[in-house]
Amino acid sequence: MSLHAELEAFKKEFLANVPEDVQTLMGNATRALEASGLADKALTEGQQLPDAELINATGEKVQLSDLLNNGPLVITFYRGGWCPYCNLELRSYQRHLAEIRDTGATLVAITPELPDASLSTAEKNELAFEVLSDINAAFAKQLGLVFALPEELRPVYKSFGIDLEEYNGEGQFELPMAATFVINGDGVVASAFVDADYTKRQEPSEVIAALKNL
């Protein structure tokens, strides 16, 4: 089953169990983010990826430029381990990890969650690639990916058992849009997927095709 099919199946099941007023709030927030044009201003093809030092799930520092020394880099941003759409995406990329590595590329996932939370995500999804913490979403901001979760949605998320401050740190309600980048060995973006709708993600097969075209 494709990642798209998995996401759509989950979305259908989820919405069937969510009150209409909550669906309206969530839908309005997504449409407002789409209308803002933020996704159109994000890092895109032909641009240079800024370097960054991030923290992996065990607390070690990881420099993106060091990863690029080994060849192409695939970076996918996810909101957090609390997000079922993100978990579906991460597991899908794990299933395609061997194909990605066969192209000589390195795959990393980046989240605004603190390292303890990202470690839980990596363990829960049995990920064999690095999950990196972007504290305060600082790197994602550089790439133009960040938005603040609207205040009216914060109690809705809490009703789902999602306390963003617990995962991201006190006062942290900023999240990255769904985004995946293929970076060539020179640090230039060869392929960019950015979507304001968090229920949409790039198919791993498209990433692999982009890597093979480098």
**Residue-range domains of the chain with CATH:** 3-212 (3.40.30.10)
Give residue 108's pLDDT.
98
Q: What share of the chain is helix, strand, coil (3-state, %, to 5)?
A: 45, 20, 35
Rounded distance, CA 175 to CA 155, Å? Answer: 16
Residue 84 confidence (pLDDT): 96
- Cα separation, 115 vs 96, in Å, equals 24
Comparing CA positions, the residue from 131, 60, 52 lying closest to residue 91 is 131
Residue 182 confidence (pLDDT): 98
- In the prediction, which pLDDT does 119 show? 87
Which SS3 state, helix, strand or coil, does residue 180 take?
strand
Return d(Cα 24, Cα 3) in angstroms, integer: 25
Mean pLDDT by 10 residues, the chain (214 residues): 96 94 95 97 98 95 97 98 97 98 98 92 94 97 97 94 95 97 97 98 98 97
- Reduced to 3 states, what is the DSSP secondary structure of residue 185? coil
What is the Cα–Cα distance from 124 to 210, expressed in whole angstroms?
A: 28
